[in-house]
């Protein structure tokens, strides 16, 4: 199994990314198209927000189709809270894509990200779809990865090569997300492509389980978006024996999918709006898996915890406090807390109480860009990981003028 920090072309797929005029900056692409030359099965997870954008609601129906061959994605406009017209615009976007690719509408998924409550500039979008279809290329994935970005500082891509049934398998993923990021998905889009042959129901299980341990374990600011989704397409071009049960080939595929999902999720957390540090919670000793997850997620969601890490302040009391209101069951008197980075590791709490520690050494550890918060609840055998970022002054600056 080989891991790459780029999007490797997946056999049978093409992509494109262009500027069509949704964004004001012509240097920034705002429309991406992903296309499978042959039939493909799909699976997806969607935002848990009650306020769902039109593309999300439409996709929740279209993803049930047994063939999905294209995804059309725009950035700069979320097409959320846009009423009946928003649904019509999303449906027309799909129809225009279907026409260009000679597909039926139900064989296409649509995604949007950007400003909420603004009508879609359909004339620009329809013209852009025609150009995007003409621009489809086996080498178009980097352009497509740029076309889905909003406030992101860079593209987020990762790929894995592995072998199943002596057939070369590629799993490649791209994502966007920087703000409005919170567990149970976020204002993020994730698109994963693979040439593996796999049953649709089994693919759906693999994705949902993978998302629960990756994208659903990140937080930037505690806000769950109206538009987020993760979609995976598998076109079967590898010609391996179709995975239709949870056998050893499924386990091998699922392990690779987990790596792709986790790496993309970590990139989103690290690229949080205004962030200067990636925070990783590594929690063990939970009574149940759910207890461990609740505690870990609560830590990386806490504004006070995040602010302390921005200031490189070893304020461990905020960590214990955040676990206390998480809903997770644990005994506070058992908890141990450590901080770790490239500068070293230090224990700062034991049995739920603070320890004397070297403040200068702790400061050095917390000044690094990637910091691990290691927790042992000492209550059981279950563990969980979660990822987030610090909360800086720039987060307020960015979101104080996001619309204008």
Residues classed as catalytic:
187
On whether the CB atoms of residues 90 and 112 are closer than 8 A, the answer is yes
Residue 300 has what DSSP assignment? H
Rounded to an integer, what distance in angstroms lies between the CA atom of residue 168 and that of residue 155? 26
In this structure, the number of other CB atoms found within 10 A of the CB of residue 219 comes to: 28
- CA distances to 78, 179, 395, 397, 404 from 401, in Å: 17, 13, 10, 7, 5
227: which DSSP letter?
S
Query: Tokens 């950007």 label which residue?
Result: 114
Integer Cα distance of 66 and 84 in angstroms: 27
Cα–Cα distances (Å) from 372 to 155, 173, 375, in that order, read 24, 25, 10
Q: Could you tell me the CA-to-CA distances from 336 to 164, 259, 282, 332 in Å, in that order? A: 42, 28, 12, 9
Going by their DSSP bridges, the two strands 278-286 and 370-376 should be labelled as: parallel
Contact 58, 87 (CB under 8 A): yes
Element (H, E) at 75: strand 70-77
**Among 195, 173, 375, 338, which residue's Cα sits nearest to residue 266?**
173
Identify which of 74, 144, 62, 140 has the alpha carbon closest to the alpha carbon of residue 103.
62
**Encoded tokens for 228:** 């987020």
Positive or negative: CA dihedral 27, 260, 47, 322: negative
Classify 88 as helix, strand or coil: helix
Quick check: helix, strand or coil at residue 110? strand
Give first-to-last CA distance, the chain, whole Å: 46
Show the tokens assigned to 341.
Answer: 């980075």
Q: What residues have CB less than 8 Å from 329, skipping those under 6 apart?
A: 287, 288, 291, 379
């Amino acid at each position: 199994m080989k891991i790459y920090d780029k999007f490797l072309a997946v056999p049978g797929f093409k992509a494109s990314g262009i500027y069509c005029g949704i964004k004001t900056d012509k240097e920034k692409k705002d429309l991406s198209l992903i296309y499978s030359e042959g039939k493909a099965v799909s699976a997806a997870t969607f935002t848990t927000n009650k306020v769902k954008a039109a593309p999300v609601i439409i996709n929740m129906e279209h993803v049930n189709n047994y063939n999905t061959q294209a995804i059309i994605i725009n950035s700069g406009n979320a097409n959320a809270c846009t009423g009946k017209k928003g649904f019509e615009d999303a449906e027309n976007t799909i129809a225009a894509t279907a026409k260009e690719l000679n597909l039926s509408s139900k064989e296409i998924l649509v995604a949007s990200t950007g400003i909420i409550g603004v009508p879609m500039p359909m004339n620009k979008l329809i013209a852009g779809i025609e150009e995007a279809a003409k621009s489809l290329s086996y080498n178009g994935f980097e352009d497509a990865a740029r076309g889905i970005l909003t406030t992101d500082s860079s593209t987020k891509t990762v790929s894995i090569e592995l072998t199943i049934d002596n057939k070369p398998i590629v799993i490649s993923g791209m994502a966007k997300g920087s703000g409005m990021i919170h567990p149970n998905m976020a204002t993020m889009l994730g698109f994963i492509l693979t040439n593996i042959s796999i049953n649709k129901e089994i693919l759906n299980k693999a994705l949902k389980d993978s998302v629960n341990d990756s994208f659903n374990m990140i937080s930037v600011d505690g806000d769950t978006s109206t538009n987020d989704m993760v979609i995976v397409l598998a076109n079967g071009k590898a010609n391996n024996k179709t995975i239709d049960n949870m056998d050893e080939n499924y386990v091998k595929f699922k392990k690779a999918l987990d790596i792709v999902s986790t790496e993309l999720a970590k990139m989103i957390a690290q690229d949080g709006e205004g962030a200067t540090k990636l925070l990783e919670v590594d929690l063990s000793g939970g009574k149940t898996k759910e207890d461990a997850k609740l505690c870990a997620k609560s830590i990386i969601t806490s504004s006070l915890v995040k602010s302390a890490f921005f200031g490189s302040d070893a304020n461990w009391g905020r960590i214990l406090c955040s676990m206390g209101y998480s809903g997770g069951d644990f005994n506070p008197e058992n908890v141990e807390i450590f901080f770790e980075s490239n500068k070293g590791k230090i224990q700062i709490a034991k049995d739920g109480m603070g320890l004397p520690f070297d403040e200068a050494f702790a400061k050095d550890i917390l000044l690094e860009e990637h910091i691990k918060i290691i927790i042992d609840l000492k209550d059981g055998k279950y563990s969980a990981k979660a990822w987030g970022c610090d909360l800086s002054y720039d987060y307020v600056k960015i979101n104080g003028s996001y619309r204008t």
